């Protein structure tokens, strides 16, 4: 079970999450067009603090492929996570990014809004290395960061419909990650909002630790029962 945590704020926080056992440690990178974006130079310092076996993720919400390529080139993350709307960065864009950066794995956010999300997932699964299923507000210009859950029944159908790893996101925290894993059977789970310190975007390390523990325990139990 992959455990993925956003948004790492500094190198110390990255180090602490490595020690807790977080598998994917992510940073939101950009030029300030979206709230809380971190500049590439600062993001590089944070990601440099991530040590094996944890993987370094750069999340971009940009709809500008040139800007995305610059982020990938500057940071050389293990995983480049694309969080823009599907109409802005499509399957062909993902394929081109993989051609330009064959050493970087691509994660594509998919908004879980209805049955149409299943067909979209199948399309992007032909190009990406991971899918991340997240909640979406129609007024947003990006996918995710809502802090609310979506229809897990649709997410389960997506997991069953594609052959690449699927990570479940959207309003997950220690209080519901076990239920989510049992309902969806994803390859991984992602948390941002519900593992933050209250009133802050820094991480509550106790919540992160509990999230990791519960996710791993639930996944192990599912394996034993299957």
Cα angle 199, 46, 51 (rounded to 5 degrees) comes to: 115
Please determine, for residue 116, whether its predicted confidence score (pLDDT) is greater than 80: yes
Q: Predicted confidence band at 141 (pLDDT cuts at 50, 70, 90)?
A: low
Mean pLDDT of the chain: 93
Please determine, for residue 139, whether its predicted confidence score (pLDDT) is greater than 90: no
Q: Give the per-residue pLDDT at 226.
A: 56
Tally the domains of the chain. 1
Domain with 30 in it = 2-225
CATH number of the domain residue 199 falls in: 3.20.20.70
Q: Predicted confidence band at 188 (pLDDT cuts at 50, 70, 90)?
A: very high
Residues of the chain above pLDDT 90, percent: 85
Residues of the chain above pLDDT 70, percent: 96
**Model pTM above 0.75:** yes
Q: Predicted confidence band at 136 (pLDDT cuts at 50, 70, 90)?
A: confident
Helix intervals (H) in the chain: 11-20, 40-48, 65-75, 91-100, 116-125, 152-161, 177-184, 205-225
């Amino acid at each position: 079970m992959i455990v993925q945590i956003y948004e790492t704020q500094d190198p110390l926080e990255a180090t602490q999450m490595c020690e807790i056992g977080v598998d994917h440690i992510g940073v939101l990178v950009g030029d300030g067009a979206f709230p809380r974006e971190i500049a590439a130079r600062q993001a590089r310092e944070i990601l440099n603090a991530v040590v094996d076996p944890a993987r370094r993720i750069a999340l971009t919400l940009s709809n500008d492929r040139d800007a995305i390529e610059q982020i990938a080139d500057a940071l050389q993350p293990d995983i480049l996570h694309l969080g823009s709307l599907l109409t802005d960065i499509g399957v062909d864009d993902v394929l081109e990014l993989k051609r330009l950066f064959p050493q970087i794995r691509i994660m594509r956010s998919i908004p879980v809004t209805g049955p149409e999300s299943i067909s979209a997932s199948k399309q992007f699964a032909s190009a990406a290395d991971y899918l991340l299923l997240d909640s979406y507000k129609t007024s947003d210009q990006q996918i995710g960061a809502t802090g609310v859950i979506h229809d897990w029944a649709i997410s389960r159908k997506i997991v069953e419909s594609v052959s690449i790893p699927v990570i479940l996101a959207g309003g997950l925290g220690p209080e519901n990650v076990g239920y989510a894993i049992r309902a969806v059977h994803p390859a991984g789970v992602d948390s941002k909002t519900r593992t933050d310190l209250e009133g802050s975007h820094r991480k509550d390390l106790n919540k992160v630790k509990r999230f990791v523990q519960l996710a791993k325990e639930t996944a192990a139990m599912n394996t034993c029962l299957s």
